[in-house]
Amino acid sequence: MSTAFAAPVRPDAHPVSSGAPASDAATIVVRALAGIGEVRPGDDLVDLIAGAAADAGGLHDGDIVVVTSKIVSKAEGRIVHAADREQAITDETVRVVATRAHPGGITRIVENRQGMVAAAAGVDASNTPDGTVLLLPVDPDASARAIAAGLRARTGARVGVLLSDTLGRPWREGQTDVAIGAAGVHVVDDLRGGTDAAGRTLTVTMACLADELAGAGDLVKGKASGCPVAVVSGLGRAVGELDLPGAASIVRPSDRDLFRLGTDEAVELGRRDGHDAGFARGRAVGHAEGFASGYAEGVAAARAEALAARARLEVEGASC
């Protein structure tokens, strides 16, 4: 069986981007696919998903398949034997953003190899055998493209695929699923340049459809239901070609990231940079002043020595 819920959609919804097909749908249906079972390294996810979808009515043009990244990691063999999960996190870390100690240990917010900022670098120890952890797919967008291409070929349906993972959000409690991989889906609904209900021009509004869809999929998949795949129907306007920008395009570039560090880390970095700069400046000034002082003392000493030598010569000359 599959679980589903329906939500109303504005009939006049703005096209996702230029060239994206409009939709007359007034309802979105989200259903979880049952029957996929435990995924193991080497399993064919296209075969598993297509089979489960066929048992639940099949896939159709415009459907978006939301796949929990955990089963992609398992199928791709991203299982690591690690007695110490902390070492696995360290190995996947590119940049430390913030660390906080708490009674249960230390939480690390880091940038991982995929370019995402997440707690524990996305390393997952849940629903895995003891002594092992799961790493995220090496290239989530490439994994999504492979699944999307396979499902299109297998079913004949023009579908999109999202890979989802659970992340926290700055300034908000709790977690939600977001898209870490995407293929054949317009990940952002860019409304800039349009107008609101009052006729005012929209200048910054960009709805992240990929994350919204990932969160919707999680509502029916759950965390322990054994249904790692959901299908969203009724949003065909969001489905496009497989070469559309993937979920990596959602990650904000570093030059526009206003919060690259945690507060404590930013303060400490400022102190360290200030200390280093102050020390370097003080050393340079001290060296210059010392050189000037030494030079003056040297000139004075040389002059005194010269005068003393001259006096000795005059005394010796007078005694001859």
Q: Express each pLDDT in 234-268 by its tens digit.
A: 999 999 999 999 999 999 887 888 777 766 766 77
Position 317 scores a pLDDT of 66
Q: Report the SS3 class of residue 312.
A: helix
Report which DSSP code applies to 222. -
pLDDT-flagged residues of the chain (< 70): 1-26, 223-224, 262-263, 265-266, 269, 275, 278, 289-290, 313-314, 316-320
Spell out a b/e string for 114-135, using b for 16 or more CB atoms within 10 Å of the CB, else e: bebbbbbbbbbeeebeeeebbb
Q: What is the pTM of this model?
A: 0.75
pLDDT at 179: 96
**Can you give the pLDDT at residue 55?**
94
Q: How much is the pLDDT for 126?
A: 78
Q: How far apart are CA 164 and CA 178, in angstroms?
A: 5
